Amino acid sequence: MKKAIEKLPKEKPEGVLKTEAILNMLEDLQESRKGLEESHKELKKSENFTKNIIEHAGIPIIAFKRDDGLIIINKKFLGMTGYQKKEIDAIGKFFKLVFPSRLVKSKIDKALSLLYKGREINDFVIPLRCRDGSTIIVVSNVAPLYDENKKIIGEVMFIRDLSEIFELEKQIRYWAANGFVQPKLEKDGKKAESHVEISEPLKGLISKNSKKQ
124-to-86, 161, 162 alpha-carbon distances in Å: 26, 12, 11
Q: Assign 209 a pLDDT band (cuts: 50, 70, 90).
A: very low
DSSP symbol at 58: S
Alpha carbon distance, N-terminus to C-terminus of the chain: 114
Q: 97: domain CATH number? A: 3.30.450.20
Quick: pLDDT tens for 72-97: 899 999 999 999 999 999 888 998 99
Residue 162: Cβ within 10 Å count? 15
Q: Are 97 and 174 members of one domain? A: no
Helices (H) and strands (E) counted in the chain, each on its own, are 7, 5
Q: Are 174 and 96 members of one domain? A: no
Q: Are 155 and 170 members of one domain? A: no
Q: Are 92 and 146 members of one domain? A: yes
For the chain, what percent of residues have pLDDT higher than 70? 62
Q: Which backbone phi and psi does 134 adopt, to 5 degrees?
A: -75, 160
Q: Are 142 and 175 members of one domain? A: no
Q: Are 136 and 207 members of one domain? A: no
Q: Which of 56-65, 135-144, 162-171 has the lowest mean pLDDT?
A: 162-171
DSSP symbol at 147: -
Q: Are 199 and 146 members of one domain? A: no
* Residue spans of beta strands (DSSP E) within the chain: 61-65, 69-73, 121-129, 135-146, 152-161
Q: Are 175 and 133 members of one domain? A: no
Q: Assign 66 a pLDDT band (cuts: 50, 70, 90).
A: confident
Could you tell me the residue range of the domain that residue 177 belongs to? 166-182+190-212
